[in-house]
Amino acid sequence: MRYPKKLEQHADAILSSRRREAIREQEEVQNWLRTTHPAILGCQNKLSRLLARLGIAKIRRSSCDKEIEAQIDATRKELHDLMTDAQMSEDDLLPKYTCPECQDRGYIDGRPCPCRQTILNRLVYEQLCDVSPAQSCSFDNFDLHYYVDHRQDMAKTLKSCERYAKDFSKNSKNLLFYGDPGLGKTHLSLAIAGEVARSGHLVMYASAPHLMAQLEDAKFRQSEAGMEYREIIYGCDLLVIDDLGAELVTRYTQSEVYDLINTRLNIGIPTIINTNLTMNGIYKLYTNRVASRIAGTYTEVQFQGRDIRLQKRVEEMEAHEQKAQTSHIWRAATSYPCGKNPQDDGRAVM
């Protein structure tokens, strides 16, 4: 899987810092041993010299390797006894790498270590959170109570989105989330994106206007960063295009949307499109070529109900109103005629 160059550099910087920290801590242990247990350090140095001699002897096929091996065994035992007396283990002398397999180098025999992939996956998810409210959009906080007349349908949609994220692979379907604004399309697509990113896939998310502007800029400026962005958008494991149709539709964007959708279909990597348009609306706004490619290859998922953002605003206003009324009643109940302060009369207020 190809990751953005910036993320690769960031991952390597994290690995280097881990390695430096492990070595620094080991040096601190060595300094402490030098003053408190010099015999341990002497024994450790002797063992290192013997191991180096054994290596040379083996290369030269020298006959004295058996003798060196015996000295190594004896020194190991001596070191073990010294460590036991000091209530330490031999592991205490080694650097504590976060990943012992690659010693925080990120590579084993020239091949990337799984720990590097884990770091990259975390960075991809953090990047997704930087450009979208991914962290606040989960399956758990998708609130079905707002879908008064369509609760069953939306419960089914929620379940199938959870399944989609859980079973995600490069063979997953392309999805077209459509419906009026404020019905949770962005929320559910970001919940999928977050889950898929956390499971180790490269996920990109962009609103259609931003995406088109970035791709156009990359195409015409030909900057290295722009070309890299373009390549990743075209090749990432999952792409979420939010609000298709909100961009300024021109001949350029028509052709870019077609290229993007078509390329990803040909490679066989899934895309999720959110739009306020129906399929008819897509046919009206885009060329037949774009619309029929979407109609023929995307699974349509309809979002129905009343604008949740509006419902939340009404709830907030009602709550505010109620609070204001309660406060008014309380003020009326505790006010005294002629603005007299009850304390002036020496009476206690309950």
From the list 58-66, 106-114, 135-143, 319-327, the region that binds Zn ion by CB under 5 A is 106-114
Distance CA(301)–CA(176), nearest Å, equals: 6
> Which residue has tokens 């001596």?
78
Shortest distance, CB of residue 113 to Zn ion, whole angstroms?
3
Cα 330 versus chain centre, distance: 49
From the list 30-38, 108-116, 170-178, 259-267, the region that binds Zn ion by CB under 5 A is 108-116
Cα 141 versus chain centre, distance: 18
Residue 153 contacts by C-beta under 8 Å, 6 or more apart in sequence?
A: 147, 302, 304
Shortest distance, CB of residue 199 to Zn ion, whole angstroms?
19
Site string for Zn ion, 61-100 (x = CB under 5 A): --------------------------------------x-
Shortest distance, CB of residue 103 to Zn ion, whole angstroms?
8
Question: Is 81 or 101 the residue whose CB approaches Zn ion more closely?
Answer: 101
Shortest distance, CB of residue 100 to Zn ion, whole angstroms?
8
Site string for Zn ion, 182-221 (x = CB under 5 A): ----------------------------------------
Token pair belonging to 237: 């494991």
Question: Is 102 or 165 the residue whose CB approaches Zn ion more closely?
Answer: 102
Q: Is 102 among the residues that bind Zn ion (CB under 5 A)?
A: yes
Q: What is the DSSP string of 256-323?
A: HHHHHHHHHHHHT--EEEEESS-HHHHHHHS-HHHHHHHHHHEEEEEE-SS-HHHHHHHHHHHHHHHH
Question: Is 113 or 308 the residue whose CB approaches Zn ion more closely?
Answer: 113
Distance CA(296)–CA(287), nearest Å, equals: 14
Shortest distance, CB of residue 110 to Zn ion, whole angstroms?
13
Tell me if residue 73 falls in helix, strand or coil. helix
User: Pick from 175, 6, 20, 42: which is nearest to 98 by CA?
Assistant: 20
Question: Is 40 or 102 the residue whose CB approaches Zn ion more closely?
Answer: 102
Question: Is 101 or 300 the residue whose CB approaches Zn ion more closely?
Answer: 101
> Which residue has tokens 């046919």?
283
Shortest distance, CB of residue 99 to Zn ion, whole angstroms?
3
Q: Assign residue 106 a region (left: φ > 0; alpha: ψ between -120 and 50; beta: otherwise).
A: left
User: Pick from 154, 210, 179, 157: which is nearest to 276 by CA?
Assistant: 179
Crossing angle of helices 114-131/5-36, nearest 10°? 120
Tell me if residue 33 falls in helix, strand or coil. helix
Cβ-in-10-Å burial (0-12, 13-18, 19+) of 130 comes to: exposed
Select from 33, 40, 47, 113 the one that contacts Zn ion (CB under 5 A). Answer: 113
Shortest distance, CB of residue 8 to Zn ion, whole angstroms?
15
Size of the site for Zn ion (CB under 5 A): 5
Shortest distance, CB of residue 125 to Zn ion, whole angstroms?
19
Question: Is 109 or 130 the residue whose CB approaches Zn ion more closely?
Answer: 109
Question: Is 113 or 215 the residue whose CB approaches Zn ion more closely?
Answer: 113
Question: Is 115 or 257 the residue whose CB approaches Zn ion more closely?
Answer: 115
Cross-strand bridge partners of residue 206: 241
Shortest distance, CB of residue 22 to Zn ion, whole angstroms?
12
Contact residues: Zn ion, CB under 5 A: 99, 101-102, 113, 115
